[in-house]
Structure 1
Amino acid sequence: TYCWIHTTFSIENAWKKRVGEEVPYPGVDKTTPNEKRVYHAYYQWVCFVLFFQAIFFYVPRYLWKAAEGGLVKNLILGLNRPILGEDDRRGAINLVTDYLFRNMSLHNTLFLTYAITEVLNLINVILQMVLIDRFLGGEFSSFGWEVINFSEWDWSVRYDPMIKVFPRLTKCTFHRYGSSGDVQRHDAMCILPINIVNEKVYIFLWFWFYFLAIASALALVYRALTIFYPGMRVVATHSHCRISNPKQIKEVLKHGGVGDWFLLDLLSKNMDPLNFRDLIIDLKEKIDMVKDSKNGV
């Protein structure tokens, strides 16, 4: 109990010694002068760290939901259902068309907010990887690679790298008073069964964080393409609604900003394809009517 509450340690020189012949367990050996110790105290804080990490992962989503305010849900108007009465369907499409036409070039702030949250996603996962690396004494950054390479090591020098990061048996020093009042130093061993769970949690997090970092970086590359290459916007929206005409989508996007495309792209993901196709047709007709009136046709 004392060792569990206080910090335990392992002896660095004992990691690679032969178990059963030289040491009873990796990192556990007799006390020697000038030995280098690796202290373990993280296991008391794992649940709290994971809780706060989860909160920070939710922050970008919360910011986006607060900025979006249910706009897409309100614009759907039941058009995400494939079966809808014709009068209701046409009425809803007309309402959405009028909204999009009247608010052209007014959705750039919405797009900027979403782009910022995508940047925050990448910053968040990188900072959390650094945080865990420091939390685990600098062992997390290479943890996954060492576990992957573990099966390829020669049996004569093979030891589980997870045991080094998450030892199940450690050393602990505490002091008691003897019968004469002298302080007696006790060198004991402490069992840490919780590390059997911790090692599984963090090996999963290692692979998951690397996946999230790569996915977030690719998302930023995609976002940059949609900003600087307008043709990418047409391709992206058409990929969500194959039955729509890409030429019509291109014509509609010519008369709006990147924010208008972003809102249309969100609608294409949430609407029934037939309804979104009709929305594009109606929106193009409205734009053409305004162009014709300006040209005196």
Structure 2
Amino acid sequence: MDKIIGVIGGVPQSKSRNDDDFSDRLNHRYTTAIFVVFAIVVSTKQYVGEPINCWVPAHFTGNHEEYTNNYCWIRNTYYLPFEEYIPKEHEDDKRQMIPYYQWIPMILLVQALLFYMPCMVWRTMNGRSGIDVNNIVEAGETFQNTEKAENREQTLRYMTKQMDRYLSSQREMKTGCTVSLKHCLSRTCCMFCGRRFGNYLVTLYIFVKLLYIINVVGQLFALNAFLGQDFNLYGIEVLSALAKGEDWTASPRFPRVTMCDFKVRRLGNVQRYTVQCVLPINLFNEKIYLFIWFWMVFTATMSCISLLTWAMRCAFKTDRHRYIKKHLRLMEKLERDSDKQLAQKFVDKYLRQDGTFVMRLVGHNTNAITVTEFVCSLWDSYRAKPLNERNEPNDSSEV
């Protein structure tokens, strides 16, 4: 799906990127692909098959019937339960018009684009951080899949060098009481955000996850404007009908049988007709949007869980310390008390929030061995630095 969006946007992708987690890919990759496939299915039915068939008077010829079908398809139909009488010409307010079925393919494509938009924000903005997160993750995947020791060591050195270059680029900063206070606050509560505070990537990632949630929840309610009938409650009503043993397909949202009014001019007179039409296309639309409702609820749930998980991981310093020290202990890097004290500075002053975040992202897309080797390689690089290069970064670079 990334390739399709890349071609449309004029930026072809050689392969799928994995600089995020599963819930993000659930939104921008799998959901986008599902909507595009559904749009193709509905479009095929509309333009290859017969989306509407109207029951016309007996004296209508073939051309009259074709005209009626085309007119009612273009001008919309309205839903009318069989137990209700047909409204008179002046009773327009009693007609429940169905204006959306012609636009379903376009609506699906717009939905697909909206699900991809937060991903575009993430990839555009994280590229301005000074580090190619996707490049680091891809190198981690290469390290994981490479068996030759020499190649693995070369890949690990590359990852360490790139990460160290990014972290070190934030250390050439001015000093000052105000700056120091901002750094203290940024470590604990992300009150100040940017590269200079070591939390640019973390803040951006949390913001993008918020965009995913706003998008999926917003779409559930926005569909009310297009489909009407409280679409945000659609799945709940279907489950309720199934529990009661009722016919859940008898819904005014996607009616199979509708009514259509039109006028024909004959010899100076205007003849009004009301015909009954069947919309086979709504059989597809109903199943598609029922699936979409449950899929969007599932996606929203996964996105909320992911947001809370990442927010807690990044917000609490103790969790960051626990994560990094766990990997250092696996390689017996914290045997001495001096190393344990140095590990505190390693997390707080060297890695900071962005460094730990990249480590977690590598871990999400590879395995525990890869991220452990990566953490320990950075640790060895940090220990080898002169003491004056281990000091806490100040504040002068761009946000």
Aligned partners of 1:139 and 1:165 also within 8 Å:
no
How far has the Cα of 1:43 moved from its partner?
Answer: 0.2
Q: How many angstroms apart in 2 are the aligned matches of 1:241 and 1:176?
A: 82
How far has the Cα of 1:175 moved from its partner?
Answer: 1.4
2:253 — aligned with what? 165
1:257 — aligned with what? 352
2:203 — aligned with what? 112
After TM superposition, the structure 1 stretch with the greater mean CA deviation from structure 2, 87-96 or 54-63, is: 87-96
How far has the Cα of 1:182 moved from its partner?
Answer: 2.5
After TM superposition, the structure 1 stretch with the greater mean CA deviation from structure 2, 223-232 or 27-36, is: 27-36
1:190 — aligned with what? 277
2:97 — aligned with what? 39
> 1:94-143: CA deviations, max 9, x gaps?
33323333432556323332222111111111221121111112431111
SS in 2 for 1:227: helix
Residue 5 and residue 271 in structure 1: after superposition, are their counterparts in 2 closer, same or farther (change >3 A)? closer
How far has the Cα of 1:265 moved from its partner?
Answer: 1.5
What is the RMSD of the two structures over their aligned residues, measured on CA atoms? 3.4
Q: How many angstroms apart in 2 are the aligned matches of 1:101 and 1:203?
A: 49
Aligned partners of 1:118 and 1:216 also within 8 Å:
yes
The answer to whether structure 1 residue 103 and structure 2 residue 172 are counterparts is no
SS in 1 for 2:163: helix
2:224 — aligned with what? 133
* TM-score normalised by length of structure 2: 0.60
1:5 — aligned with what? 74
Q: How many angstroms apart in 2 are the aligned matches of 1:117 and 1:162?
A: 39
SS in 2 for 1:165: coil
Match of 2:362 among 267, 273, 278: 267
2:371 — aligned with what? 276
Aligned partners of 1:171 and 1:190 also within 8 Å:
yes
Instruction: Show structure 1 runs of 5+ residues with no match.
Output: 15-22
Residue 146 and residue 241 in structure 1: after superposition, are their counterparts in 2 closer, same or farther (change >3 A)? farther
Aligned partners of 1:178 and 1:184 also within 8 Å:
yes
Residue 178 and residue 262 in structure 1: after superposition, are their counterparts in 2 closer, same or farther (change >3 A)? same
Q: How many angstroms apart in 2 are the aligned matches of 1:171 and 1:31?
A: 10
> 1:198-227: CA deviations, max 9, x gaps?
001110111111112222222221232123
Q: How many angstroms apart in 1 are the aligned matches of 2:113 and 2:219?
A: 12
Instruction: Show structure 2 runs of 5+ residues with no match.
Output: 1-68, 171-194, 335-339, 391-399
1:64 — aligned with what? 122
How far has the Cα of 1:193 moved from its partner?
Answer: 0.7
How far has the Cα of 1:161 moved from its partner?
Answer: 5.0
Q: How many angstroms apart in 1 are the aligned matches of 2:275 and 2:325?
A: 67
* TM-score normalised by length of structure 1: 0.78
Residue 115 and residue 219 in structure 1: after superposition, are their counterparts in 2 closer, same or farther (change >3 A)? same
> 1:233-281: CA deviations, max 9, x gaps?
4566799999667978965423321111111222223445434323322
1:17 — aligned with what? none
Q: How many angstroms apart in 2 are the aligned matches of 1:242 and 1:117?
A: 33
